[in-house]
Every structure is written in structure tokens, then in C-alpha cells.
Amino acid sequence: MTKEFKRLSEGPLAGLKLAMLHGRMTTEEKHATMTSFREGGVNVLVATTVIEVGIDVPNATVMVIDNADQFGLSQLHQLRGRVGRGSELSYCILIGDGQGEIAKERLAVMTQTNNGFEIAERDLALRGPGEFFGTRQHGLPEFKLADITQELQLLQQAKEDALGLLEVDPRLRRAEHAKLRAALIERFGDSLPLAQVG
């Protein structure tokens, strides 16, 4: 990031006031940088994804996301939400090499909608949900017949049914749920307690 900051401040953005913002800065340093940016003392902020949440600068009107094809849709949506908070027309420019089909699709989605729910659905369809009782955060789960990305209504119904069951028998101790509990333990073994966290 320091290299890019130097390149921009000495090259295409020479003459403008630039500042850096990254996660290794102290809270006080970040606050001072953001205050200066908000008040116009800084024209361009060169930042890591630390700006993804909690930054509100209504006069920020242009954001350039480099290597945008390496981010997930939800993260791109969060980043894009940092501009366009005021009354001025705003732009978010995504730069990426778009080598893979999924990368191209992700970037295309960002040009088609601003709807967070739609973006989350497309992200689920492109990345997959990962493991439900494990640590893998993306990819398709090991279902034998279902394609979860094509059955979102069925997934919603299953969720509602599961939550209803957990309301009446959260530990699946009732006799009528013994086979379900045994099947879950057999299938998920040691990772089953992860589903009970929270």
C-alpha cells in the first residue's frame, strides 16, 4: 500500500493532498485521518478495506477499488456503500483483471444492482454457503441431490421448520427425535457442537 501511495502522490495525483488509512494505524491516527478527509484537508484517501464499515463521509464521491475481482460481492457492496452518502452524484470504479468466469460474473453483478439482498443471493449462488457445521466458509456443501443455490424458497422453509423444532426440543432429546439426533451425530460427529454455539 505504501508503494501505491507513493506512486499516486508522485504521479497521477501529484498536487493533491493524499493520506493513507490502514489497519495497522492506531485508533487515534485513523480518527485524525478521517477527520481531515471529512473536513477537506485531505483530497484522496488511499485505504485498505479498513474503510469497509463504520466510515461516514457524505462528501466522498469517487471510490476506486483495485483488484476488485478478488473480493466477494458482499464485501464489494459494503465498500461501495462508503460513497454516495451525500447529495452529490457518486461513482464506484471497479478495477480487476477478470480472468475467471466467476470473477467476471461478480463484477457484472455490481454493475446491475444496488440491492443488498439481491447481491447476497447472487453471492450465495456464486460462492456457495460453505459448511453448515464446520469451518469452510465457501463452496458447495456435500448434498447428494439438492442444489441449494437453486432452492432458496425450500431452504427458507427448511430453516423455519428447523427453528420450530429447536424451539420445542433444542437438544433433540425427545423419543420422536432420537433418529434425527443419531443421524446428525453420525453425519457431523465432533463438529455438531458448532451448530449449538450462540
The β-bridge relationship of strands 44-47 and 62-65 is unpaired
Give the residue extent of every domain in the chain.
129-191
| Rounded Cα distance, 160 and 155, in Å | 9
- In whole angstroms, what is the distance from residue 31 CA to residue 38 CA? 10
Q: What are phi and psi of 55, to 5 degrees?
A: -110, 125
Overall pTM > 0.75: no
Give me the percent of the chain exceeding a pLDDT of 70. 80
Q: What percent of the chain has pLDDT over 90?
A: 27
For residues 66 and 134, which has the higher predicted lDDT (pLDDT)?
66
- What mean pLDDT do residues 48-59 have? 78
Grid cell at residue 169: 426440543
C-alpha cell at 119: 447481491
Average pLDDT (167-190) is: 85
Cβ atoms within 10 Å, residue 105: 14
